[in-house]
Amino acid sequence: MALPILLGVFATYVVFNLPQISRRLQHVSRIFAQQSSHNYTNTAVSTIHSGFLSSMTEKEARRILGLQHQNPTVLDIKKAHRELISRNHLDTGGSGYITYKVNEARDLLLKQHNR
């Protein structure tokens, strides 16, 4: 008995909201079409063609920590490290290997800064 009533309410809702539903579906399909036509080859990720180097360089360390300038300060290094470690924490599903590489990048840059 309740099923026919629910079907009637649902059908009435769909009939009255059909124009709005149609507009939203068109909007969503336009968004998908725009996103599929984008060329993502100019992103920063595409400039990295392989995994990590066997021994970390200063350039790779700066890339890992997201430091663009040549001579980051100790504060810049520590801030970037802290942010990446908090985003990639093991308790929230982060990777131990990525944490290791972030720590290695921080250590290398701090060691070079102290020379």
- Asked if residue 75 has pLDDT above 90, the reply is yes
Asked if residue 76 is part of any domain, the answer here is yes
pLDDT for the residue numbered 10: 86
Q: Which residue has the higher pLDDT, 34 or 101?
A: 101
Asked if residue 47 is part of any domain, the answer here is no
Confidence of residue 83 (pLDDT cuts 50, 70, 90): very high
pLDDT for the residue numbered 105: 93
Q: Does 56 share its domain with 34? A: no
The pair of structure tokens assigned to 3 is 């099923």
Confidence of residue 43 (pLDDT cuts 50, 70, 90): very low
The pair of structure tokens assigned to 59 is 């350039």
Which residue, among 114, 101, 109, has the nearest Cα to 59 in the 3D structure?
A: 109
- Tell me how many domains the chain contains: 2
CA pair distance 34, 21, nearest whole angstrom: 20
Per the confidence metrics, is the pTM higher than 0.75?
A: no
| Domain of residue 70, residue span | 52-113
Mean pLDDT, the chain, whole residue set? 81
Are 64 and 102 in contact, with CB atoms under 8 Å apart?
yes
Kindly give, in sequence order, each residue whose CB lies less than 8 Å from that of residue 85, ignoring residues fewer than 6 positions away: 99, 102, 103
Are 61 and 105 in contact, with CB atoms under 8 Å apart?
yes
Q: Does 57 share its domain with 106? A: yes
